Amino acid sequence: MAGHYDVLKTLIDAWKRADIETVASLMTDDIVWHYATAIAPPLEGKAASVEFLTKFRGTMGEVTWRIFHHAESGPLLFLEGVDEYVGNDGVRVAAPYAGVLEFRDGKVCAWRDYFDMGLVQRMKASKAAPDYVEALIARPAV
């Protein structure tokens, strides 16, 4: 059986190709996804997650989501990365984040993303990220 990080790499590759069907196949039907932990209520269930993903991916052009570090412990995958994309409007958004994914039977059953929504809104408004944030974003992926 593939490790949790291998599943995530498959999910990321599918997301970059806008292959929502493959992304969804890697989630359990009862997934609870905190796509913006402490900012918005979670999405509950695969159907709600797919609806969100379809709308969100539709706003994006190029996606360069990258992972800098990860660690697995039992059913958990901890990660640090940058969610980076260029919107259909040509604006680059790059948000450093940390996440925790829980797995059951090789699929993601819970997902929690932690990031700075203020930074995302700043970048969506075509304002540059501070130099110290750009330094975080520029690190090499694993």
pTM of full prediction above 0.85: yes
88-120 b/e with 16+ CB inside 10 Å = b?
eeeebbbbbbebebbbeeebbbbbbbebeeebb
Q: Based on the structure, what is the number of domains in the chain?
A: 1
User: Residue 125 sits in a domain of what CATH number?
Assistant: 3.10.450.50
- Asked if residue 45 is part of any domain, the answer here is yes
- Asked if residue 52 is part of any domain, the answer here is yes
Print pLDDT tens along the chain (142 aa): 569 999 999 999 999 999 999 999 999 999 999 999 999 999 999 999 999 999 999 999 999 999 999 999 999 999 999 999 999 999 999 999 999 999 999 999 999 999 999 999 999 999 999 999 999 999 999 8
34 in Cβ contact with 112 (< 8 Å): yes
93 in Cβ contact with 102 (< 8 Å): no
Secondary structure (DSSP) of 3-42 = -HHHHHHHHHHHHHTT-HHHHHHTEEEEEEEETTTTTSPP
- Asked if residue 79 is part of any domain, the answer here is yes
φ, ψ for residue 101, nearest 5 deg = -115, 135
Candidates 20, 13, 17, 36; CA nearest to 120 is 36
- Asked if residue 142 is part of any domain, the answer here is no
Q: Which domain holds residue 9?
A: 4-137
